[in-house]
Structure 1
Amino acid sequence: MRYLSELMAIALGGALREDDVSKKDLELLEPQLRRADEWLRSGCERDEDGFGWLKLPYQDITQVLEASRWLSRFDALIQIGIGGSALGNRMLHGALLPPYYNEFSREERHGPRFYLMENLDSRNILAIWELVDPSKTAFVVVSKSGQTTETAVQFLWAWQKMTDLFGESAKDHFVVVTDPHSGILRRFADEVGCRSLPIPQSVGGRYSVLSPVGLLSAATLDIEVESLLKGAQEMDLKLSAANSLFENPAWLLAGLHYLHSVRGRNMAVLMPYADALKDFTEWFAQLWAESLGKGGKGSTPIRALGAVDQHSQLQLYSEGPDDKLFTLLEVRETLGDLSIPFGCEEKSLKDFSYLKGQKLGDILNEEAKATAAALVKAGRPVIWMELPRLEEHNLGALIFLWEYVTALCGALYGVNPFDQPGVEQSKRYAYGLLGRKGFEDEARDVAGHFGLIESFRLVV
């Protein structure tokens, strides 16, 4: 079974067996998938909380493009954010910009250098600060709620540094991306008069990469965001026009993940054979884990990279527990592909002669096929995905497809794919430990639960 389009190809036969998850099982699941799809579409039409990502491919990005033109005059752009306010940016840049982008000259880059202040690691923050000229640096601060502790800490540090240097004009180095109407960052932007962009209220963080959260830095770095959205639009139109199970790749992918999960394969391995898609797996991991892991249900995402992880994880994948569904992703065409001339005369190298004239990209893709075949031979379920090339248009389609698949899986599991109650609990505990007013009970609760951990302690 293979789904084909000019955007990508998806082969599903490796994940289907008559004595395991079969086509018949998928057919029996079709009514549930249809209801899940109707639920998504109706939630989008009513603009319910969490469903707004479905509208992002059709948004007006005039404000984003205007802000990006203003930001492009700076030499360095630092985005402060975490989770969905950072992973999507890293994914877009990793996929669509040259490796080691910051090392190129300004003329070669066509945009400022880019840095992420993400985790609360002083070494990273100070290293970035040492690399930039503050007078030529802009900050994009991203938090929908405006209350994310990690983002707040780094923003406060950067704001103090910049106001110490530039006084009131520090505001001319900041753009805030946050809730359009409320929250601390919205009030801050209104108070000091810095530039700001809205995150749609019905869009959650992990689904926000195609909003100003991801598009602003991408456009500033000369990524064609219009083409990115066009690809997402095209995928949306293909999905909405598909009237049956075997015409709809999102239904098929969601159905396969769900059916394999309830049969004990509750780990989803995403393994692209392209360094440029390594950060795509990081973005996918948050999307999948935070959307589906609720109420004792869900599927654990595993990030892998071909061919690197053939040499670290493949042994487990082939002969370890049969608890994983594998998705291997190949990019057919690569830019600047090297080939092996094999001009060496040394006798000691003659065993490498079979590599003569072969391109590195072709070798990598053949290794991907070899890995997929080995997994199938070992009885492991494999989904195969191909991109004709890696560019804005089909990356936008790939992003939208996996968001759609994730949301459908949430409906199949019977969980809300747009909330994160487990994350909220740890946030409240952190507020209590940090002395935030109104969270005193949480601080006491932490003492009890962490005390249980400390009750058996070994010092080495």
Structure 2
Amino acid sequence: MKGCLEFHYGAALGEPSAPEAVTFKNVRNLLPHLQKADSLLRSHQENGMEGAGWLLLPYESPSRILEIASHLASMSDVIQIGIGGSALGNLMLHNALLPPYWNDSAHNLSRPRFYMADNVDPEENKSIWDNVDPQNTALIVVSKSGTTAETMANFLFFWNKLKERLGAEEAAKRTVVITDPEKGVLRAFAQETGCFVLPIPKGVGGRYSVLSSVGLLSAASLGIDIESLLAGAREMSDFLAAAQNIEENPAWIISALAWLHAKRERNMLVFMPYIDRLSMLSEWFAQLWGESLGKEGRGSTPIKALGTIDQHSQLQLYTEGPDDKLFMFLNVQDVKDDFEIPKGDEKSLLPLSYLFGQSMHKLRSAEELSTASALVKAGCPVLWLQIPTLDPFYLGAVLFLLEYVTALTGLIMEINPFNQPGVEQGKRYTYGLMGREGFDEEKQEVNSFSKVLSSRIITVPFCEK
């Protein structure tokens, strides 16, 4: 029997007598809005809500994904090409569920090394190619439209490198396209070359795609138990659907508190796990939260943090800076490979004797609780999410919860949590500057704005010695 996920939220509530306090009465008053938003999400198939297809992902069979993953697992190297939600989810899963320094030990585990080509960086791409074995390398390219400029530029580089080394037919046998189920450049490419192809399910946007083929294929090829990951997400989905009492539904509580604190000008959410293996979870959540909610002059700004590191870089601001943040800690109760802190025999080390024989995880847990307590003492609102251990099942549950909370928060804020018009504008400008047909007007706009950007310039001359 699995343990329990716990959510503690008392420290995000204020005293009812305090002015501008967020109280549980305020949370209860939002219940009709939460129920309406929840019903809207759950009935997405009937109402045609674009972007809510991710709700079905925990219930999809991963059999085809596992079949292709078994082929990739025989390779020495896998390169995935994608950006944003087509990259962060993969990096997060690998960071959380694989041993640290994976590429140094992967071959000892008879699994491929993994490289992510996400940014437009020629030096990075060349370095990746120089480090792989071209004779035994596979490519995964992810783009729903097949027109994402960054992804397709990187893909053209790696595809042509692989094709030059192996020939077109053999290169196609090492390439997997993850794209729109019916149309687009990559769908046509797959039909032309005969490479492997997996669909991005309808209604699933990039930042909500981690539990689809986008995130699961590379994870499975490296040995992550994606069936357990989906099982955790499925159990969380079922629990949230059944929990119609606000005091039992963590998604409703988190969404309500995020909205209520934002209304009181605490419109930043600091997400702070305390394990290195969850550092990329903060990165992934920042995209999910920020891109979903930052619209129409409204939203909540995500802040990525990692304990204990950021106690020494951000905590001063959090405790004594402006009262404009809500905090969410993610605590993992038990970890693998814990060890006792050794005793120091030297006299100079005696002041450290309080650490001798203590476990490293106990110290880290004490640091996390101490940081949360310091924030509570400073009057900051704190949420505490706790899982028994970090494994595929519990991570799947956490991922689905965070996705659900994000979508629900957008709906009670009366914004669309599934589009990204601000991102699309930047894409259109890039197309114009790069000469894509049909984007001449966007090119003219960029040129006019660039004049504003360069209207005042300070030049600092450097003289060679």
Same fold (TM over 0.5): yes
**What CA distance in whole angstroms lies between the structure 2 residues aligned with 1:199 and 1:286?**
19
| Residues 106 and 113 in structure 2, CA contact (< 8 A), matched pair in contact too | no
Give the superposition deviation at 1:7.
4.0
Equivalent runs, 1:37-436 vs 2, <5 Å: 37-46=38-47, 48-108=49-109, 110-168=110-168, 169-342=170-343, 344-436=344-436
Match of 1:439 in 2: 439
| Residues 44 and 54 in structure 1, CA contact (< 8 A), matched pair in contact too | no
Match of 1:13 in 2: 10
Deviations 1:251-286 (A, max 9, x none): 000111110011000100000010010000000000
What secondary structure, in the 3-state scheme, does the structure 1 residue paired with 2:354 have?
helix
Cα RMSD over matched residues?
A: 1.1
**What CA distance in whole angstroms lies between the structure 2 residues aligned with 1:240 and 1:187?**
39
Give the superposition deviation at 1:341.
3.0
| Residues 11 and 381 in structure 2, CA contact (< 8 A), matched pair in contact too | yes
| Residues 275 and 305 in structure 1, CA contact (< 8 A), matched pair in contact too | yes
| Residues 273 and 329 in structure 1, CA contact (< 8 A), matched pair in contact too | yes
| Residues 106 and 112 in structure 2, CA contact (< 8 A), matched pair in contact too | no
2:306 aligned partner, one-letter code: L
TM-score where L is the length of structure 2: 0.96
1:370 aligned partner, one-letter code: S
**What CA distance in whole angstroms lies between the structure 1 residues aligned with 2:386 and 2:164?**
51
TM-score where L is the length of structure 1: 0.97
| Residues 246 and 252 in structure 1, CA contact (< 8 A), matched pair in contact too | yes
2:241 aligned partner, one-letter code: S
**What CA distance in whole angstroms lies between the structure 2 residues aligned with 1:456 and 1:402?**
43
Size of the aligned set, in residue pairs, is 454
2:309 aligned partner, one-letter code: V
| Residues 44 and 55 in structure 1, CA contact (< 8 A), matched pair in contact too | no
**What CA distance in whole angstroms lies between the structure 1 residues aligned with 2:324 and 2:55?**
31
Give the superposition deviation at 1:245.
0.9
**What CA distance in whole angstroms lies between the structure 2 residues aligned with 1:370 and 1:379?**
14
Deviations 1:77-119 (A, max 9, x none): 00000000000000000000000011015232x4210000010
2:119 aligned partner, one-letter code: N
**What CA distance in whole angstroms lies between the structure 2 residues aligned with 1:97 and 1:105?**
10
What secondary structure, in the 3-state scheme, does the structure 2 residue paired with 1:115 have?
strand
| Residues 7 and 397 in structure 1, CA contact (< 8 A), matched pair in contact too | no
| Residues 7 and 394 in structure 1, CA contact (< 8 A), matched pair in contact too | no
Deviations 1:347-379 (A, max 9, x none): 211111111211111100010000000000001
Deviations 1:238-259 (A, max 9, x none): 1000111111000000111110
1:217 aligned partner, one-letter code: S
**What CA distance in whole angstroms lies between the structure 1 residues aligned with 2:340 and 2:200?**
45
**What CA distance in whole angstroms lies between the structure 2 residues aligned with 1:150 and 1:140?**
15
Give the superposition deviation at 1:211.
0.1
What runs of 5+ residues in structure 2 fail to find an aligned partner?
461-465
Q: 1:45 to 1:335 in 2, by over 3 A?
A: farther
Q: 1:57 to 1:7 in 2, by over 3 A?
A: farther
**What CA distance in whole angstroms lies between the structure 2 residues aligned with 1:267 and 1:48?**
27
Q: 1:44 to 1:111 in 2, by over 3 A?
A: farther
**What CA distance in whole angstroms lies between the structure 2 residues aligned with 1:431 and 1:71?**
33
| Residues 293 and 299 in structure 2, CA contact (< 8 A), matched pair in contact too | yes
What secondary structure, in the 3-state scheme, does the structure 2 residue paired with 1:104 have?
helix
**What CA distance in whole angstroms lies between the structure 1 residues aligned with 2:33 and 2:165?**
59
